Structure 1
Amino acid sequence: MSITTSTATAAAAARSLTTKRSAQAPRTSAKAAAGIAALAAIGPATWGTTYVTTTELLPPDRPLLAAALRALPAGLILLALTRRLPRGDWWWKAAVLGVLNFGAFFPLLFFGAYRLPGGVASTISAVMPLLVAGFGVGVLKVRPTRRTLIAGLVGVAGVALLVLRGSAAVDLAGIAAMLTATTLMALAVVLSKRWGRPEGVSLLTLTGWQLTVGGLILAPIALTAEGLPDHFTGANIAGYAYLGIIGTAIAYALWFRGIERLPASSVSFLGLTNPVVATLAGLLFLGQTLTVWQLAGLVLVVASVLLGQQRRATRRA
């Protein structure tokens, strides 16, 4: 009887300890998820400074060259630092992700940006959370909840109020390019979540693979279609360095880390920080001003991002 009683007592104590740990887990998990989300948001927040950097520091009328110089040097630097190449099926997986994230996305993004006002382009890109939710049904077998869909629609409305103007022009080719670019990036998020990361491979290595693939595709196209400027100024070099190192290598490494550790739809909402930062950068560096409607849009965008993060963090906990 004493042995049975001791065993039962030990089992009860184990259950009690497990219960206590389970009760404490949600707080730790939620806090960790918030930290990961904050770091991942640095990526799209940094991308929000691309417009100001391009207009103020880079040579005019060379979007393909800017795209190539964002991707290829950063990818080669990361490859030189990590000294590791893909193996097995990661040759084609890295190639697919490199095309989706950089080789195809960058040219379409710049094409749309040149043919559309920034507000229209940003509003189209704001549908990414809804696209990720749709792709998630087929690829990840995850059905979006009503809260996710509402948060996505709130985000689109917020971005529209934040960046649209009454005189915004509509160009069908530009709209098609931006919608295609946003769709490709949404698909890349879902596929990255599905495939994960090969064992023993760092995030910087995986980022370097994709950047190199995208850069190798972009470089010959840029040189053929646009060529190099007669000379590069100090401002040009500073702009390219900022976009390549901060806005691409570091930003995408943090973005991919978020994709790896957070639900796909949760990460997609972080992309809404892009137009917010772009608007704030315009205020600081281009002398722009905010209207009451834009302030309302800013509030809606922030609410959309938080709504998506809170739901996912609680569920994972």
Structure 2
Amino acid sequence: MKNTLPAFFILFAAICWGTTGTTQALAPDTAHPIAVGATRLAVGGSFLLIMVLLTGKLDLKNWPIKTTLVASICMALYQPFFFSAVTLTGVAIGTVVAIGSAPILSGAIEWIFLKKRPTQIWWYSTSLSILGCLLLFITKGSVQADPFGVLMAIGAGLTFACYTVVSRSLVERYSSLSVVAIVFILSAIFLAPLLFIFDMSWILSVSGVTTSLHLGIVATGVAYLLFAKGLAKVSSSTAVTLALAEPLTAAFLGVFFLGEKLTSTSWLGVILLLCGIGILIMKPQKSQSSKQVEEVL
């Protein structure tokens, strides 16, 4: 059980992320998706900063500034990339391309830059999970394969993959709480200008406050802290594949809270996703000390 605990940390993080779609669906109609993403980072970053200050775990001595900036920029870019993809090419294609490309890109980055070839178990698990994700979303939403939207979705997958690989080098050396607190407060600062571009009056409503707090504290602060804790013991490529539990959670929440229905194809996708994730949990990889990403950057 102890060996699988890091994997479960990542699964719990993915479950928290999976609540994002349902929460946004219940947000005020005037809330622009990109503004919601910027607010999410602002609240999440502030929450994590308060937590690290209260626990006294913030230690900036010999902190790798370059690596931290790369992780922060990746997380900041992920928000507009993903929300733009969903807006341009629809929820179905935008989500499948973004979430499905992340594990492949993460594995490629590890292979090319860190010289860590993905294991055979990873290939089986990732293939099953991506196929499951495709089947789960193939019947959801309108299908309009906008080329620029697809490009934005790949950008979202790439930035999340890069964030994961870079963050792993940080959590191997520093406390998870310190890492996510610094990275997310910087990401929030990078996206802060967006808060002055879009209409933010929605945030003053009850549903606006509720949405902001849930997305910031649960779906960002708590989720990424758990993800970082798991990432310290799990390879980046494996972590991103386990994170595919996010669409699984979103699908179930859509059924129970938004009145959505899953087709037989979608249920097959659910089964494949569960099988793919289960493979990684039942046979976790041994922790390996990877080369520091700073050497590559």
Question: TM class by shorter-chain length?
Answer: 0.7 to 0.9
Cα shift readout 1:205-257 (whole Å, capped 9, x = no counterpart): 21111111111111113312x13226621111011100001110000000111
Alignment partner for residue 294 of structure 1, among 266, 269, 275?
266
* Amino acid in the other structure paired with 2:95: S
1:229 and 2:201 aligned: yes
Does the C-alpha gap of structure 1 residues 187 and 177 become closer, same or farther in structure 2, counting only changes over 3 Å? Answer: same
- Alpha carbons 1:74, 1:248 under 8 Å: kept: yes
* Bigger radius of gyration among the two: 1
For structure 1, which segment, 73-82 or 252-261, has the greater mean C-alpha deviation from structure 2 after superposition?
Answer: 73-82
Q: Unmatched 5+ residue regions in structure 2?
A: 289-297
Counterpart Cα distance in 1 of 2:13 and 2:37: 16
For structure 1, which segment, 283-292 or 124-133, has the greater mean C-alpha deviation from structure 2 after superposition?
Answer: 124-133
- Alpha carbons 1:139, 1:191 under 8 Å: kept: no
Does the C-alpha gap of structure 1 residues 238 and 195 become closer, same or farther in structure 2, counting only changes over 3 Å? Answer: closer
1:63 and 2:33 aligned: yes
For this pair of structures, how many residues does the alignment match?
282
Partner of 1:265: 237
* Amino acid in the other structure paired with 1:241: L
Counterpart Cα distance in 2 of 1:191 and 1:81: 22
Q: Unmatched 5+ residue regions in structure 1?
A: 1-30
Partner of 1:157: 131
- Alpha carbons 2:171, 2:179 under 8 Å: kept: no
* Amino acid in the other structure paired with 1:297: G
Counterpart Cα distance in 2 of 1:261 and 1:270: 13
* Amino acid in the other structure paired with 2:164: V
Alignment partner for residue 2 of structure 2, among 14, 32, 55?
32
Runs ≥4 in structure 1, deviation > 6 angstroms?
none
Does the C-alpha gap of structure 1 residues 312 and 265 become closer, same or farther in structure 2, counting only changes over 3 Å? Answer: farther
Counterpart Cα distance in 2 of 1:316 and 1:107: 33
Counterpart Cα distance in 1 of 2:17 and 2:180: 16
Cα shift readout 1:131-169 (whole Å, capped 9, x = no counterpart): 211111123221123332232222111111111128522
Q: How does 1:1-317 map to 2 (within 5 A)?
A: 31-83=1-53, 84=58, 86-101=60-75, 103-124=76-97, 125-165=99-139, 168-198=143-173, 201-224=174-197, 226-229=198-201, 232-313=204-285, 315=286
Cα shift readout 1:15-53 (whole Å, capped 9, x = no counterpart): xxxxxxxxxxxxxxxx21322211221112111111111
Cα shift readout 1:98-135 (whole Å, capped 9, x = no counterpart): 1112x111111111122232221222112322221111
Helix, strand or coil: the match of 1:222? helix
The TM-score, its normalising length taken from structure 1, stands at: 0.82
Cα shift readout 1:62-95 (whole Å, capped 9, x = no counterpart): 1222112111232223323423363445222222
Counterpart Cα distance in 1 of 2:50 and 2:133: 39
* Amino acid in the other structure paired with 2:47: I
* Amino acid in the other structure paired with 1:254: L
* Amino acid in the other structure paired with 1:194: S
Q: CA RMSD in A?
A: 2.1
* Amino acid in the other structure paired with 1:208: A
- Alpha carbons 1:70, 1:240 under 8 Å: kept: yes
Structure whose residues are more often helix by fraction? 1
* Amino acid in the other structure paired with 2:21: Y
Helix, strand or coil: the match of 1:104? helix
